[in-house]
Chain A
Amino acid sequence: MDITVNILLTIATAATPLLIAAIGELVVERSGVLNLGVEGMMIMGAVGGFGAGYLTGSPWIGLLAAIAMGAVFSLLFAVMTLSLATNQVATGLSLTLLGLGLSGMIGTSFVGQPGVRLPNLDIPGLSSIPVVGKLLFGQDPIFYISIALTAAVMWFLFKTRTGLTLRSIGDSHASAHALGIKVIRYRYLSVIFGGACAGLAGGHLSLVYTPQWVENMSAGRGWIALALVVFASWRPWRVLAGAYIFGAVWIGQLHAQAFGIPVPSQMLSSLPYLATVVVLVLISRNKRLTMMNTPASLGQPFVPDR
């Protein structure tokens, strides 16, 4: 029983950073902006979070620093693509490259230093209930934030007027502009929200997952988050499902490798990617729904004519 609970907990820990980064990127892409810099913002969040936690000794300050780092870094992308109308793909890619390099430089003195870890939730009585206690009331704070964030984004996008406006901008920025909607302002806020989420996801890596600083510790998670958004056809609950499927198969194959199952390890390592893609493609079979949810102006620079 304990083994099962432990496996479930590691799955949640593996899925959480993917979920947070992907939910942030989902909002960005719903507004019609394609930010390929998730990986870069994530690693900046990780180094910022670790550094602030290490220097102050407070993991909570580290958490705030991770969020701020991601948001500030995304602002660079926003200024380039929204105000200067540069190519979003190229700018996003360079943001990732910049983030990977810059974080390595910032983090040279952090390598090998002991970090601080965010404490798990511990509610006397509740957290010690067998099985469910640990799963529901004994995880790290970012896990709860990720679930709340998903629900909040779902409610925001589909139940509020502001969310409707955001989706309309993603569908056609020209039409939105013609109606007098402030396209650029919405996109700025979306990009910064996405950056903050990516930063938080990075903070999860360096403050919860492995509380230390290792260069390139995001290890491609930003790219997986990006792919999740597309394969989940821009629907929040599907992103959640995708992140957890990925996490589950990831942990599963690690255990399988540890047991020495006679399958080449490369095959096993590729399983999470395959499984996630297959499942999400299957649930996105409805072409019509996919079409409706795809932001039609995704990636197109917007320059209002005056």
Chain B
Amino acid sequence: MDQSAPSDLLSSSTVMLGLVALASAGLVLLMRPGARSLRLAGSVLGLAGVAGLFVEVLKLASGGGGIPPILPVLFGVTAIAGAARVMTHPRPVFAAVYFILVVVASAGLFLLLGADFMAFALIIVYAGAILVTYMFVLMLAQQSPVEGDATANWYDRVPREAVSCVIIGFVMVATLAQVLFNPNEEARRVASSVQGEAQTQAQLWETLAGMPKQLKVITRERLQLAKDAPVQFVAGERSALIQIEGDTRFVVATVDGKDHRVMLTNTDLPVNAQVVGATLVNDFPASIEVAGVILTMALFGAVVLARKQVELGEDERRELAGLSRLSVEPDSGASR
């Protein structure tokens, strides 16, 4: 790990601090239920701050030169702008809609990071399921504004103690930014990614070796066999399914009594969803169980919470317990 010069570190952190402060100031203006122009200025300030932050960070990532890649910046800025809208929009329904934008933008970032499965799972679960729940609750709880009246509830328009909240958020983000984005950390990340590269490849091959069905599919494809043709593998030394000779990897498949050597390339490695699945099942089986239990309990909890509470009187309770009613019928009381 090479340590960069302290002055470098400090100057970079000072700039980043300023940019976070700029973005925070913009956020404060945006939160205020004030004049439109002020809010516009706030959004401009905030966008500038966020953009500056991205530039600064990507400068760090690319080692100080080159043009910043457009897609990460695009998704990032979209997500952040959407998030800012979620928390500033006076109408909760719109806030929820903006949240979908955040989810979609972060799904884009997921894709950029090679997490294809999670990107789509995110959209399905969040934008598809959770957000719909929110919409339902909003419909249940929110009084619909009178036709033509665009003003929202006062408590949606006026934030509580915006400045102190933003200061807390500012310190938090500033700290995070300082910790995450300095040359030392950057170098450490690159180093660990380089180190992980070879390991990753070995792991992927191992994962493939644990997927004999996949290997059969590949073999049938290569040997142009029918989809249900029987395929048998011959294990190599130390009963390894995938054998290695020099740089090449292959499996030996027995089809109709004949041995075929099927070469394997990088393109045969399992795709993202397969890897995630394999990891989930192989490495975290107990966690899956726990997650399932949590979901079940949440289900019960939601049922209990949302049930309509019926206030039973003394008579009703007595009736439920199989006892006679206490109260005298009103007409009999009158006759007495």
Q: Do A and B bind each other?
A: no
B binding-site residues for A, Cβ under 8 Å: none
